[in-house]
Every structure is written in structure tokens, then in C-alpha cells.
């Protein structure tokens, strides 16, 4: 038997990447009896029976699994946002960062349309970006241009031997980024509406594809509407700049809202924490508290 990673399931067959090739696999009977569910990213053992054909003999335990997108064993999430046209939605960005952090998946921030943004800077129509704010927090941040190729190689180097998912708003250039990173399969890219400056959704299913020495899923994205199930104390742990100061608060149960002697609010007043991050935290906190009351 050989080990591989499930890329996708379609029409009762499963496609597994192993030994630098894709195998069309059927299921061993016992899996059908158990009604075993399979997700892209599952690590499986297959038994070849003829050229490019095999049966799935075993499934390894999952390290993690996401519900939306439905994918397993994810190493990192590439969160893609445009620097301009449209401007980055920081509320959505922070919401996705909370979801990824809670799932114990490494977040990577990629800001696209660097060429367009630099043109805007020359005309004075853009202010300084917030990229350095997220770098200061400790996030890995890349600035790229899918048009000129600037920054693409650096992003690609971080994909090798890892399972990654692409997420972010439509129009940010997720599919274009994948195409710039990959010399193989191309993804359809959506046209950008000049009126709304919002992209049309072009990705319709979850499938892992070989890209830059790793496996990447261009997905419909994480659910942007709801936060993960968590309590009010756990939320702050998804904000690294909050978590590292939490022990400095007067109360161990501090939720950094109305409590006195709060290290987070003190850092905010001193300019050590971005006001947008704190504003989004308070919005998310109210959602978490409301969810606690419902349950």
C-alpha cells in the first residue's frame, strides 16, 4: 500500500495524490458499510490494482476538519484581500482570523493588487495601508501583484509540502493568485464590476490541487456570518496582541470591555493596539455573549 492525500470525491470515485501522480480510487466494501465520510485533505492508504486505479484501504485520523469549506488536515489558511478596488474589509479580515485561529490553523495574509495600489499612492488617492499593523501583531503578511508577479515567489515558497486553503472576499484575486502560483490547472477568474467594485463568485466546489509543491484548495470561503462556538474568554485568545497582555489585567476574568485596570484598554490608549482591532473585538464579543445566552 502507498500513502496519499484525497484531492476530491466525484461520482462515487475518489482521486488521491500519491507518489507524484493522481490515482482514481474506489472504496473497499467495509467503508461503504460504515458509511465513512471522506473529505479533501484526508490522508489515506491505497492499494493499486492497475495503472492509475486503486482502492482506499485505510483512512488516517484527522488532525483538524473544517465544516465550511469541507476539508481536513489543513496546515494554513491563505486569507486574500485586495489593497484597493475594493478596499480591504477589516471587519471580515478579523472575523476570518478568529475562525482560523480558533481552528488552530496558521493564518497567512496576502494583499493583492500591489501594482494598482502603488499607482493610487502616486496620485495621493490612498492613505498608508494597515499591512504593517498586522505584521506588528505577528501575522505573516505578503503584498503581491498578480499582474507583475511581484511577491508571488515568496508566497509560493510557503506552500511546499503543506495543505492550504484560499479564503477571502470575491474580487480580491484568489483565483488569479492561484493561477500565478501554479503552472498547471487554471481556475476561472471572475470579472470585476466597475460599478460595485465587487467580484462575482467563481468557485463552486472544494477540490485540492497541486500547486507550488503543495496542495491548495480554492474554496467558497469560510462562513463570514457567524463566529465559531466559543465563550467570551476564549475570544480574546484569538487576538494575539490581546492574549499576550491578558495576564496583566487586574481581573483574571477580564473581557476587556468595562472592567477597570484592563491592560488591553491601556494598550489601546497608548497606541499599542489598533483601534479597528479593538472595535471589531467588541462587536464579536457581543455576538459571543448573545450566543451564550441562547444556549
Please enumerate, by residue number, every residue annotated as part of a binding site for Zn(2+).
249, 254, 256, 262
Residues in the annotated binding site: 112-115, 168-176, 249, 254, 256, 262
CA terminus-to-terminus distance, the chain: 47
Residues in the annotated binding site for GTP: 112-115, 168-176
**HSE-up of residue 19 (Cα within 13 Å, Cβ side):** 10
Residue carrying C-alpha cell 493564518: 107
CA distance 20 to 287: 45
Q: Which residues pair with 143 in a beta bridge?
A: 111
Dmax over CA atoms of the chain, in Å, equals: 70
CA distance 200 to 64: 30
Amino acid at each position: 500500500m502507498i500513502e496519499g492525500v484525497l484531492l476530491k470525491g466525484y461520482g462515487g470515485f475518489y482521486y488521491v495524490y500519491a507518489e507524484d501522480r493522481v490515482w482514481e480510487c474506489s472504496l473497499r466494501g467495509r467503508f461503504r458499510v460504515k458509511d465513512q465520510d471522506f473529505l479533501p485533505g484526508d490522508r489515506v492508504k491505497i492499494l493499486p490494482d492497475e495503472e492509475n486505479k486503486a482502492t482506499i484501504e485505510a483512512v488516517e485520523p484527522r488532525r483538524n476538519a473544517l465544516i465550511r469549506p469541507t476539508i481536513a488536515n489543513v496546515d494554513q489558511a491563505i486569507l486574500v484581500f485586495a489593497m484597493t478596488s475594493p478596499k480591504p474589509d477589516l471587519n471580515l479580515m478579523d472575523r476570518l482570523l478568529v475562525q482560523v485561529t480558533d481552528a488552530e490553523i496558521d493564518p497567512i495574509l496576502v494583499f493583492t493588487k500591489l501594482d494598482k495600489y502603488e499607482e493610487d499612492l502616486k496620485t495621493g488617492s490612498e492613505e498608508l495601508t494597515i499591512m504593517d499593523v498586522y505584521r506588528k501583531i505577528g501575522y505573516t503578511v505578503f503584498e503581491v501583484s498578480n499582474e507583475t508577479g511581484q511577491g508571488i515567489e515568496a508566497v509560493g515558497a510557503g506552500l511546499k509540502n503543506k495543505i492550504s486553503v484560499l479564503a477571502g472576499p470575491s474580487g480580491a484575486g484568489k483565483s488569479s493568485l492561484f493561477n500565478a502560483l501554479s503552472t498547471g490547472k487554471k481556475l476561472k477568474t471572475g470579472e470585476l464590476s466597475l460599478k460595485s467594485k465587487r467580484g462575482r463568485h467563481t468557485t463552486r466546489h472544494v477540490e485540492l490541487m497541486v500547486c507550488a509543491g503543495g496542495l491548495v484548495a480554492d474554496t467558497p470561503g469560510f462562513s463570514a456570518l457567524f463566529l465559531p462556538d466559543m465563550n467570551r474568554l476564549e475570544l480574546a485568545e484569538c487576538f494575539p496582541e490581546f492574549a499576550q497582555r491578558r495576564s496583566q489585567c487586574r481581573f483574571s476574568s477580564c473581557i476587556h470591555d468595562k472592567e477597570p485596570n484592563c491592560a488591553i484598554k491601556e494598550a489601546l490608549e497608548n497606541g499599542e493596539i489598533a483601534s479597528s482591532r479593538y472595535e471589531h473585538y467588541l462587536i464579536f464579543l457581543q455576538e459571543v455573549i448573545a450566543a451564550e445566552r441562547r444556549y
